[in-house]
Amino acid sequence: MIHLRSQREIDLIRNSCRIVVEALELAGSLIQPGIRTREIDKEVEKFILSKKGKPAFKGYNGFPASACISIDEEVVHGIPGQRRLQEGEIVSVDIGVVLDGFYGDSARTFAVGEVSLQKKQLMSVTKESLHFGLEQARDGGRLSDISNAIQRKVESARFSVVRDLVGHGIGQELHEEPQIPNYGPPNSGPRLKEGMVLAIEPMVNAGDHEVKTIADNWTVVTLDGRPSAHFEHTVAITGNGPEVLTVS
Ligand code: MG
Ligand code: MG
């Protein structure tokens, strides 16, 4: 069942989303060569708690940290640790917050110092594909219109969309129905309705779309070892079109 949220519920989700955005901005401000991913996670956690929120990922199916931090060929669900960032890497940071029983979820990929032209393109195409997807989050459309818009943008740039992981509904749970693949034909799946709140999150690989989970049981990496980028927003479908909630 796909929940339709009242204005009051959307306001509560927006409050969580605001903390997510500020935490992402904090993470971005800390990203530089030499910092350990664990230090970024600690600052993110401290910030979320200072806003009376709870880090939504910590303890989720046993995930041990507040932020997912994934470097280069790591697609998503990277566990922060002792590793130090290096110039030329790209770093995806994914943060979820729950406040007053409602969730927000957003992710961005950052460059560490100067990165290759291909990595820059990968990041900008992934971000643009998210915006194409968000644009389809409209009352009366179909769910796969979002998926298709993302896939077309990504493949027109000759990158590939990860198939094994999807976006999701969000609200009183971190992951609610529907699942939102980042690929597929247009005009199928559930009808989109005012009040739906969705976390749309293209994961885009520079090489092939195939991924695997490594021995830590969390980190998803590209099979071919080439880099991957991830951008995510939480969006509400309103009478006036899509309203992105994870903005400052
Ligand atoms: Mg996320
Ligand atoms: Mg998500």
Q: What is the CATH number of the domain that holds 95?
A: 3.90.230.10
Say if residue 10's pLDDT is above 90. Answer: yes
121 domain-assigned: yes
Say if residue 248's pLDDT is above 90. Answer: no
2 domain-assigned: no
238 domain-assigned: yes
139 domain-assigned: yes
Residue 55 Cα to ligand 2 middle (Å): 13
The answer for residues whose C-beta is within 8 angstroms of residue 113's C-beta and 6 or more apart is 32, 33, 87, 88
Q: What is the reported pLDDT for 136? A: 98
94 domain-assigned: yes
Q: What is the reported pLDDT for 197? A: 98
Nearest ligand, CA 23: 1
In contact, 142 and 186? CB cutoff 8 Å: yes
Q: What is the reported pLDDT for 120? A: 98
Residues near ion ligand 2 (CB < 5 Å) are 105, 199
Residue 232 Cα to ligand 2 middle (Å): 7
Say if residue 123's pLDDT is above 90. Answer: yes
Q: What is the reported pLDDT for 76? A: 98
Say if residue 225's pLDDT is above 90. Answer: yes
Q: What is the reported pLDDT for 15? A: 98
In degrees to the nearest 10, what's the CA dihedral of 43, 44, 45, 48?
120
Tokens 């979320």 belong to which residue? Answer: 48
- pLDDT tens column, 77-94: 999 999 999 999 999 999
- Residue 234 tokens read as 């939480």
DSSP 3-state helix, strand, coil percentages of the chain (rounded to 5)? 30, 30, 40
157 domain-assigned: yes
Q: What is the reported pLDDT for 247? A: 95
95 domain-assigned: yes
Over residues 62-89, the mean pLDDT reads 98
Residue 82 Cα to ligand 1 middle (Å): 22
Say if residue 7's pLDDT is above 90. Answer: yes
Task: Name the average pLDDT for the chain.
Answer: 98
Residue 117 Cα to ligand 1 middle (Å): 26
The answer for residues whose C-beta is within 8 angstroms of residue 156's C-beta and 6 or more apart is none
Tokens 């997510």 belong to which residue? Answer: 20
- Residue 167 tokens read as 């976006």
Owning domain of residue 138: 7-244
Instruction: Please confirm whether the linkage preceding 178 is cis (ω < 30° from 0).
Output: yes
Say if residue 113's pLDDT is above 90. Answer: yes
Q: Domain count of the chain?
A: 1
Residue 106 Cα to ligand 1 middle (Å): 5
Over residues 17-35, the mean pLDDT reads 98
Q: Beta strands of the chain (E only): which ranges?
A: 54-55, 67-71, 74-76, 90-99, 102-111, 160-161, 167-169, 176-180, 197-200, 203-205, 211-213, 220-222, 228-230, 233-238, 241-244
3-class state of residue 167 by DSSP: strand
Q: Name the pLDDT band for 245 (thresholds 50, 70, 90).
A: very high
How far apart (Å, rounded) are the C-alpha atoms in residues 143 and 184? 10
Closest of 174, 28, 189 to residue 109, by C-alpha: 28
Q: Name the pLDDT band for 178 (thresholds 50, 70, 90).
A: very high
How far apart (Å, rounded) are the C-alpha atoms in residues 145 and 141? 7
Residue 107 Cα to ligand 2 middle (Å): 8
1 domain-assigned: no
Cα–Cα distances (Å) from 52 to 47, 106, 202, 218, 248, in that order, read 9, 18, 29, 27, 18
